[in-house]
Amino acid sequence: METLKIEPDLSADLLLAAVRHRETPEELAHRVLREYLDFDKEAATGLMEADEAWAKFEKTGEGLPLEEAAVWLSCWGSSDAKPSPKCRKL
């Protein structure tokens, strides 16, 4: 196990929060670090996917106008559902 040094005021806040959550400071720190790192990993993945999509758009010039996507999404789950619109040169 690694040791993590934290500032005294953060240590006091961690202790108070741990008491409120009925966890040890170590358990709380581990849990919130895990939650943050999982969130950060998902965010990084999303940014990479967005970068890849942008690069593809720049290469092909194909996309879907927001207005068309919004109309299509607004009919999801209704009896008036429409097939997904196709990307095209913009």
Mean pLDDT computed over 61-71: 94
Q: Lowest-confidence range among 12-21, 35-44, 47-56, 76-85? A: 76-85
- Determine the Cα angle at 48 with ends 36 and 62, to 5°: 140
Radius of gyration (Cα) for the chain, nearest Å?
23
Q: What is the pLDDT of residue 1?
A: 62
Write down the mean pLDDT value for the chain: 94
**Distance (Å, rounded) from C-alpha 46 to C-alpha 41?**
9
According to DSSP H, which parts of the chain are helical? Answer: 8-20, 25-60, 66-74
Mean pLDDT computed over 20-31: 96
User: Can you state the angle between helices 8-20 and 25-60, rounded to 10 degrees?
Assistant: 100
